[in-house]
Structure 1
Amino acid sequence: MYFGKKVENKNERIPPNQHVTTSFPVLHHGNVPYYRNLHEEWSLTLFGLIEGEEKVLSYDDFYKLPQANSLNDIHCVTGWSKLDNTWNGVFVKDLVRGIQIKPEAKFVILHAEEGWTTNLPIEDFLKETSMLAHSHNDKPLTPEHGYPVRMVIPHLYFWKSAKWIRAIEFTDKNKPGFWERNGYHMFGDPFKEQRFSWD
């Protein structure tokens, strides 16, 4: 499956006060995780306000899900935008197929390595463009960019696209994540310049 299309008028695609780059800057907090054996060391847990027990996907389970491609632009809160990115991975809609999310679940908390988290409304997590990606521009993600799997939420500032994702929590509370507790916006719409809590 392929999702996305190029928009010819690039000016319409660039949020206010962003500059376009062809590089892929590396920005993160904490250490970069490295894995010796993904089949033993990596898994993805879905938990919280879902029916039944939490669901744990092994690395092999993740690759058995429907694989797809997506084309989009990404926008970093620090001011750079990178256009026409191709991602390979699993759309969220395919990840949660077969999971019954309780109606009181209004938010999602993404949990990554080293206790890093970020929050977003459930409708943004479930958006048709939301993906868990393992490759960028037809190459596996590098450790610095989130290998083996990262979120891609292209309509929000890129800090919401958590690297090194390990768990997804469904909750009724909008709990601020790491950067949100440190002054970043709780939502992060780049076209509204929602960079900081006072924006």
Structure 2
Amino acid sequence: MEPNERMVKAKQQVAQHRREFSCREVDEPQGERVPPGQHLVNNFPVLDLGCKPEIVLAEWALHIDGCVANPLTWDWEAFQRQPQVQITADFHCVTSWSMLDNEWSGVKFQHLLESVRPLPEAKFVLFEAFDEYTTNVTLKVCNDEDVLLATHWNGRPLTKDHGGPVRVIIPKLYGWKGAKWVKKITFSERDQRGFWEVRGYSNTALPWDNDRYG
């Protein structure tokens, strides 16, 4: 599935411009829960690469491999058998909007860690999606109680627009670090930058540091 090249190029040019001219947002945080440069929205905007994969649950699978003691694959039934939890977390998009108090349900990433048992040399995690999107995060960041393989938002199954059937949620980072339509997770000893990271976006993506572009 090919991304919308015109849209990708436009976003890449924005990242390059802001990086070259140090054009960072300077707004102060709006209270204790809204990072600098962000504004609140009540809806859930849809952002992707211009293509949304058609995923049949009977054919869906999540593959986990790399520097782990127990590589595994969960099909949909196996994924549903894993412990399911619910968290409430805020969501911050790099395009400057934030939503507060989202209720996410799914499988904790920490449960996945217990299942695959990363090896000592594992330091980084690469997420791959059904639309060929990739994004990278450190294992340290992923090993947090609020990082989730989410299937539901506010009590309803995630729609295709928002990354269903399963997307990654990492509340402490900008939203692009949480891959929609996730299909593969690879643990490695070396960092491999993802789709937006190689196109000028920050590698660390910390909302409270206004850390948008690398």
Task: Say whether the fold is shared (TM-score over 0.5).
Answer: yes
Distance 1:91 1:98 in 2: 11
Cα offsets for 1:52-85 (capped at 9, x unmatched)? 5x31111000000001100000000000000000
Q: Partner residue of 2:160?
A: 143
- Percent of counterpart pairs with the same letter? 41
Q: Partner residue of 2:57?
A: 38
Equivalent of residue 133 in structure 1, options 150, 170, 177: 150
Cα offsets for 1:149-183 (capped at 9, x unmatched)? 00000000000011000011001111110000110
Q: Partner residue of 2:194?
A: 177
User: Residue 65 of structure 1 contacts residue 95 of structure 1 at CA under 8 Å; is this kept in 2?
Assistant: no
Q: Which runs of 5+ in 2 are unaligned?
A: 1-29
Whichever residue aligns with residue 17 of structure 1, its letter is G
Q: Partner residue of 2:68?
A: 50
Q: Partner residue of 2:17?
A: none
The structural deviation recorded for 1:99 is 2.0
Distance 1:165 1:175 in 2: 17
SS of match in other structure, 1:109? strand
Cα offsets for 1:21-76 (capped at 9, x unmatched)? 001000111410123x312x200011000125x31111000000001100000000
1:8-47 alignment, distance < 5 Å? 11-35=31-55, 37-39=56-58, 41-47=59-65
User: Residue 30 of structure 1 contacts residue 114 of structure 1 at CA under 8 Å; is this kept in 2?
Assistant: no
RMSD between aligned residues: 1.1
User: Residue 151 of structure 2 contacts residue 165 of structure 2 at CA under 8 Å; is this kept in 1?
Assistant: yes
Whichever residue aligns with residue 118 of structure 2, its letter is I
Q: Which runs of 5+ in 1 are unaligned?
A: 1-9
The structural deviation recorded for 1:96 is 2.4
- Counting matched residue pairs gives 185
Q: TM (normalized to structure 2)?
A: 0.84
Q: TM (normalized to structure 1)?
A: 0.90
Q: Partner residue of 1:7?
A: none
The structural deviation recorded for 1:116 is 1.0
The structural deviation recorded for 1:128 is 1.1
Equivalent of residue 60 in structure 1, options 71, 74, 77: 77
SS of match in other structure, 1:96? helix
Distance 2:31 2:121 in 1: 39
SS of match in other structure, 2:32? helix
Distance 1:114 1:90 in 2: 22
Q: Partner residue of 1:153?
A: 170
